[in-house]
Amino acid sequence: MALDYRKCAEEIFSYLGGKENIVSAAHCATRLRLVIADNSKINKKALEEVEGVKGMFESNGQLQLIIGTGTVNKVYDEFLAVTGLTAASKADVKAAAAARAPLWKRILKVPGDVFVPILPAIVAAGLMMGLVEALGKAIPGFADTDWYGFLDMVSATAFAFLPVLVAISTARVFGGNIFLGAVVGLAMIHSSLLNAWNVGSTEAINSFFNVTDGVIPSWKLLCFTVKRVGYQGHVIPVILAVALMCVIEKWLHKHVPEMIDLFVTPLVTVLVTTFITFTVIGPVFSVFENWVLAGAQVLITVGYGIGSAVMGAIYPLTVVMGLHHMYNVIEAGMLSGDIGRNIWMPIASAANFAQFGACLAVAIRAHNAKTKAVALPSSLSASLGITEPAIFGVNFRFMKPFVCGMIGGAAGAWFGAITGIGATTYGVTGIPGFLAIDNVPVYVIMLAISAGVAFVLTWFVWKEEQPQTDTLNPESGNKDIANSTDINSTPGTSATDPKERSLFSPLKGNVIPGEEIPDETFASGVLGGGVGIEPAEGFVIAPFDGEISSVAETKHAIGITGPGEMEVLIHVGIDTVKMDGDGFEVFVAEGDKVKKGQKLMAFDIAKIKKAGYSSTTAVLLTNSDDFDDFRIIKTGSADYGEKLYTVEP
């Protein structure tokens, strides 16, 4: 008898807690994908009993109901008619699911999303810039050579035009036109604007604007006064400006007639965005800069090194906001004024070297190859005084290393202040600072304190994953499963290569093609492609590094999300849901981070067979339709950790 699509949709809707509880709905080839506002309002048991729903699990903030190929689209159409919702794409649902995350997570996620794509550029540039500056100060005469000029130009490019890179990446993150984003970024560092790094130099101001009073000229735009200063080194103002641009652009695309949209929307978008950027966003940050500058000047005069410690802690925050270039004003004033030497440099150096220490700890402690590949060169760049790669690429993304670096910076800056060290120039920190500091032995101790405190704190505070527990040693046998923790003796159970989208056998036994699983639903592929495993031993390990997306109340099935958003269902036995958990023990919970080879479940094969059920375990990629190439590469006898299938996006 054919499925009543309308009735199926109505029943699903009735158990979701009302229309206001449904944020978004979409479907793929086999599943209805829903984003729910409050999961506690869902009647999950009732949903599983709806005729037409062959399975249900939660993954990446989505509630996914498995309905089947050729059927789900018809149920989806009826679902939209019943609920009055607007059709959404899978990308829309993923975005809606991400939007359900806590506000602080969403705020911190934006800089990470923006900077990850441009990390190779700033890591390479930062490392090269630090090396070139160090060589220029260490080797007399090298700074006057053509090679120095060429290398200095190449290394400085990514940072001189950083707002452009940030603008393009931000436009991509917020769904705007990346070329319009580039225009906004270029406007913020236009050649008619004074380089932000020179705002404290009277000589540079006079030379650039051909004036003699050292005052930066302004533009009068309506009731606004706009100082002709660029945004080199800035990050937050650029992100805010381009995010605004994306909002304006999308609004115009919806409201401007298609006939004139091609030229009206880009024109108005760029004009309005740049006007608001230079008249509102820019001035707000300029005022904030002045406050921070005044506060910094006051703090470093506070006795007992307390003020310096405070500045050593908050200095990285000003780097995040792109305000750190203004400190050149303080340094220049110290060198030319009554002090006669730069006592700010040790503070900045301690703060930067602490971020190096925190980043180095991440590089050494991380298991993820990609994290290591970014963290190590970024830490080296930070040791040379260029901290943007370390901060944006590693420490600020993970936050705990960033905070540990702030603490290390405070400790080092305090030591530098009470020992009274200073520098004879400005613009250098970290290792190149040895060429400018007036007390090398004390400077060495200060750097050691800064990096050491940050390194040790990061080492103990930051963890790449949740602590690993109950990791399986298959040689121990079922009797020892509850206590086993060693996977090193098991071939193929090392950490998953982050570039690889593969599933490794979670059981030991005989692997059979998915269509041979003795269950019509599994064999039909409606729940996704995969294999069956006739287990030789009664336990399940993680098939890759991932996150537990669901655990059946009856303990017989586990969902896990892994590399490339692979969504896997491990269903032990056929019809074992009827055993109501008897003979099963689960060692993880929904939301747990797990490592490849970690023990997930133990089950009693004999008890399953005695109850009259097959122990054949379905290992299915429930979203196999999301991938262009799904390949099973192993059947027959398999040990734990042997590769079973791979996918290509």
The CATH code of the domain that includes 569 is 2.70.70.10
Judged against a pLDDT cut of 70, whether residue 468 lies above it is answered with no
The torsion angles phi and psi of 539, rounded to 5 degrees, stand at -155, 160
Residues 359, 390: contact at Cβ < 8 Å? Answer: yes
Indicate the pLDDT class of residue 338, thresholds 50, 70 and 90.
Answer: low
| Residue written as token pair 């660029």 | 230
| Residue written as token pair 């051909």 | 210
**142: in domain:** no
**223: in domain:** no
| Residue written as token pair 């298991």 | 367
Judged against a pLDDT cut of 90, whether residue 271 lies above it is answered with yes
What angle do helix axes 282-299 and 306-320 make, rounded to 10 degrees?
160
Judged against a pLDDT cut of 50, whether residue 68 lies above it is answered with yes
Cα distance between residue 132 and residue 129, in whole Å: 5
Cα distance between residue 280 and residue 389, in whole Å: 29
**639: in domain:** yes
Q: What pLDDT is stored for residue 134 in this prediction?
A: 78
Q: Which of 201-205, 322-326, 452-456, 583-587 has the lowest mean pLDDT?
A: 322-326
- Final residue before a domain boundary, out of 34, 66, 100: 100
Per-residue tokens: 314 = 């908050």
As a whole number, mean pLDDT of residues 342-347 equals: 89
Q: Which of 284-288, 381-385, 476-480 has the lowest mean pLDDT?
A: 476-480
As a whole number, mean pLDDT of residues 61-67 equals: 79
Per-residue tokens: 29 = 């080839």
Q: Which one has a higher pLDDT value, 432 or 322?
A: 432
As a whole number, mean pLDDT of residues 242-264 equals: 91
- Those residues with Cβ within 8 angstroms of residue 51's Cβ, 6 or more apart along the chain or in another chain: 3, 4, 7, 8, 11
Residues above pLDDT 70, as percent of the chain: 87
Per-residue tokens: 458 = 């990061």
Mean pLDDT of the chain: 83
Distances from the Cα of 93 to the Cαs of 17, 32, 59, 87, 439, in angstroms?
Answer: 18, 11, 12, 10, 59
Active site members: 28, 571
- Final residue before a domain boundary, out of 100, 116, 149: 100
Cα distance between residue 319 and residue 392, in whole Å: 10
Per-residue tokens: 483 = 């206590």
Determine the structural domain holding residue 69 and report its residue range: 5-100
Q: What pLDDT is stored for residue 479 in this prediction?
A: 37
**9: in domain:** yes
Q: Which one has a higher pLDDT value, 470 or 35?
A: 35
Q: Which of 27-41, 181-195, 303-317, 462-476 has the lowest mean pLDDT?
A: 462-476
**306: in domain:** no
CATH number of the structural domain spanning residue 61: 3.30.1360.60
Residues 619, 598: contact at Cβ < 8 Å? Answer: no
Cα distance between residue 571 and residue 294, in whole Å: 63
Cα distance between residue 269 and residue 595, in whole Å: 46
Judged against a pLDDT cut of 50, whether residue 469 lies above it is answered with no
- Those residues with Cβ within 8 angstroms of residue 611's Cβ, 6 or more apart along the chain or in another chain: 576, 578, 579, 582, 583
Quick check: helix, strand or coil at residue 500? coil
Q: Which one has a higher pLDDT value, 184 or 483?
A: 184
Q: What pLDDT is stored for residue 485 in this prediction?
A: 38
Count of beta carbons in the 10 Å neighbourhood of residue 565? 16
Q: What pLDDT is stored for residue 73 in this prediction?
A: 79
As to burial, measured by CB atoms within 10 angstroms (0-12 exposed, 13-18 middle, 19+ buried), residue 575 is: middle
Q: What pLDDT is stored for residue 478 in this prediction?
A: 40
Per-residue tokens: 253 = 């695309």
Cα distance between residue 417 and residue 350, in whole Å: 11
Which stretches of 471-521 are assigned E, i.e. beta strand? Answer: 502-504, 509-513
Per DSSP, 215 falls in state P
The torsion angles phi and psi of 633, rounded to 5 degrees, stand at -120, 5
Q: What pLDDT is stored for residue 492 in this prediction?
A: 43
Q: What pLDDT is stored for residue 452 in this prediction?
A: 97
Q: What pLDDT is stored for residue 484 in this prediction?
A: 44
- List, for residues 372-394, the tens digit of each pLDDT value: 888 898 899 899 888 888 888 88
Judged against a pLDDT cut of 50, whether residue 636 lies above it is answered with yes
- Final residue before a domain boundary, out of 80, 100, 120: 100
The torsion angles phi and psi of 360, rounded to 5 degrees, stand at -65, -40
Residues 525, 551: contact at Cβ < 8 Å? Answer: no
For 580-592, b/e burial (b = at least 16 CB within 10 A) is eeebbebbbeeeb
Per DSSP, 216 falls in state P
Sheet of 62-66, strand order: 22-27, 31-36, 62-66, 55-59
Q: What pLDDT is stored for residue 626 in this prediction?
A: 73
Element (H, E) at 162: helix 162-173
**557 pairs with which residues across the strands?**
571
In the chain, the number of structural domains is: 2
**527: in domain:** yes
Residues 71, 77: contact at Cβ < 8 Å? Answer: no
Q: Are strands 567-571 and 557-561 parallel, antiparallel or unpaired?
A: antiparallel
**629: in domain:** yes
Q: Which one has a higher pLDDT value, 122 or 487?
A: 122
**88: in domain:** yes
- List, for residues 166-207, the tens digit of each pLDDT value: 899 999 888 899 999 999 999 999 999 998 878 778 888 999
Nearest CA to 362 among 283, 271, 457? 457
Nearest CA to 632 among 491, 470, 502? 502
Distances from the Cα of 368 to the Cαs of 153, 178, 364, 440, 504, in angstroms?
Answer: 33, 30, 10, 37, 18
Residues above pLDDT 90, as percent of the chain: 38
**630 pairs with which residues across the strands?**
647
- List, for residues 107-161, the tens digit of each pLDDT value: 666 776 787 778 778 777 877 877 887 788 788 788 889 999 999 899 888 878 8
Per-residue tokens: 2 = 């054919």
- List, for residues 491-540, the tens digit of each pLDDT value: 444 455 555 688 999 999 999 998 899 987 788 777 788 999 999 999 99
Q: What pLDDT is stored for residue 109 in this prediction?
A: 67
